C-alpha cells in the first residue's frame, strides 16, 4: 500500500450511528423495546389490584414510584390499615393491557415491603367515598338528592352545603351527576377500596414476611 492510499475502514458496514433509524416505543422490564404496533394489539382493560404491605417508611413512595418508572397509569390509589397493625393495604385501579397487568403484579411482588399482591375478581366488594361541596341556593333539593343516594350532610351553612356519599363507582358517578345541577364548589374522592367476596382471602400472608436482610 502506497503512502497516498487511505487505510481500509474497520468495523461493520452500514450508516453511521447518528444516521441509523431509532425504533420508538417504551421498554419492558427486561429492557427490550416494545413494538407499539404489537402492544396496540392487546386492548387495555380496567382492573383492581390489591397489595398487602408492611408498614415501613417510604412504602407508598416505592409503590407509586414503580408505576411511574414503568409508565403505568394509576386511575386511583388508596392505602390504609388492616386487621394487623403492622400491615397496610394498598388498592390500585389501573387500565392496561393484560401483559402490563401481569407485569404490575410481578413487579409489586419484588418490592421488599410487599407481602402479597393479587388482581381482584370482577365480583369483589368495591366502595368509594366522596365529599361534595355545593352552593346552598336550594337546600331542600340538595337534601332530597342526598337522601336518595343514602348520603349524609356534614356541613350546612348559608353559602354552601357539604355532603358525604359512599357506594360503588356507578352510584358515586350517578350521584355526582345529580349534584351538578347545582353549583359544585369542590369534590374530594377517595378512589376504590376493595376486598374479595365471601370466604376468598383478599391477601395471603406468609408466616414470615420479606426483610432487607
Question: Among 145, 141, 65, 75, which residue's Cα sits nearest to residue 108?
Answer: 65
Residue 14 zone, left/alpha/beta (φ > 0; ψ -120 to 50; rest):
left
- Quick check: helix, strand or coil at residue 162? strand
Residues 105-159 pLDDT 10s? 999 999 989 999 999 999 999 999 999 999 999 999 999 999 999 999 999 999 9
Query: Does 67 have pLDDT greater than 80?
Result: yes
What is the secondary structure of 86-137 as a DSSP string? TEEEEEEEEEE-HHHHHHHHHHHHHSTTEEEEEEPPTTSEEEEEEEEEEETT
Instruction: Using pLDDT thresholds of 50, 70 and 90, give the confidence band for residue 3.
Output: low
Closest among 115, 123, 91 to 194, alpha carbons compared: 91
Rounded to 10 degrees, what is the CA torsion of 24, 26, 28, 34?
Answer: -30
Confidence at residue 204, expressed as pLDDT on a 0 to 100 scale = 85
Task: Say if residues 108 and 45 touch (Cβ distance below 8 Å).
Answer: no
Contacts of 150 by beta carbon, 8 Å cutoff, 6+ apart: 165, 166, 167
Lowest mean pLDDT among 1-5, 38-42, 145-149, 153-157: 1-5
Residue tagged 349534584 (cell numbers): 179
Q: What single-letter DSSP state applies at residue 73?
A: P
Which grid coordinates belong to 145?
A: 338528592
| Residue 25 confidence (pLDDT) above 80 | no
Q: What is the pLDDT of residues 84-96, one digit of tens each?
A: 999 999 999 999 9
CB atoms within 10 A of CB 205: 13
d(CA 99, CA 114): 21
Q: How many residues does the chain have?
A: 213
Q: With a cut of 60, say whether residue 165 has pLDDT above it.
A: yes
All domains of the chain in start order, with CATH: 42-119 (3.30.70.260), 125-194 (3.30.70.1150)
Distance between CA atoms of residues 212 and 127, nearest Å: 34
Among 41-50, 88-97, 184-193, the range scoring the smallest mean pLDDT is 41-50
Better-predicted residue by pLDDT, 189 or 17: 189
Q: Which residues 6+ apart lie within 8 Å of 131 measured at CB? A: 154, 162, 163, 164, 186, 187, 188, 189
Residue 209 pLDDT grade (very low, low, confident, very high; cuts 50, 70, 90) = low
Is the model's pLDDT at 23 over the cut of 90?
no
Amino acid at each position: 500500500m502506497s503512502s497516498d492510499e487511505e487505510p481500509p475502514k474497520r468495523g461493520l458496514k452500514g450508516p453511521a450511528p447518528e444516521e441509523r433509524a431509532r425504533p420508538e416505543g417504551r421498554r419492558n422490564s427486561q429492557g427490550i423495546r416494545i413494538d407499539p404496533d404489537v402492544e396496540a394489539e392487546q386492548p387495555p382493560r380496567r382492573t383492581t389490584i390489591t397489595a398487602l404491605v408492611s408498614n415501613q417508611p417510604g412504602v407508598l413512595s416505592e409503590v407509586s414510584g414503580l408505576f411511574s418508572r414503568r409508565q403505568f397509569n394509576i386511575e386511583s390509589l388508596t392505602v390504609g390499615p388492616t386487621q394487623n397493625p403492622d400491615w397496610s393495604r394498598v388498592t390500585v385501579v389501573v387500565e392496561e393491557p393484560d401483559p402490563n397487568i401481569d407485569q404490575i403484579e410481578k413487579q409489586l411482588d419484588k418490592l421488599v415491603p410487599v407481602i402479597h399482591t393479587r388482581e381482584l375478581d370482577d365480583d369483589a366488594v368495591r366502595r368509594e367515598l366522596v365529599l361534595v361541596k355545593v352552593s346552598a341556593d336550594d337546600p331542600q333539593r340538595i337534601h332530597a338528592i342526598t337522601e336518595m343516594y343514602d348520603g349524609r350532610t356534614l356541613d350546612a351553612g348559608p353559602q354552601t352545603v357539604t355532603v358525604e356519599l359512599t357506594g360503588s363507582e356507578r352510584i358515586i358517578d350517578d350521584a355526582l351527576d345529580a349534584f351538578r345541577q347545582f353549583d359544585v364548589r369542590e369534590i374530594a374522592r377517595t378512589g376504590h377500596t376493595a376486598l374479595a367476596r365471601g370466604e376468598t382471602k383478599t391477601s395471603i400472608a406468609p408466616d414470615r414476611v420479606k426483610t432487607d436482610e
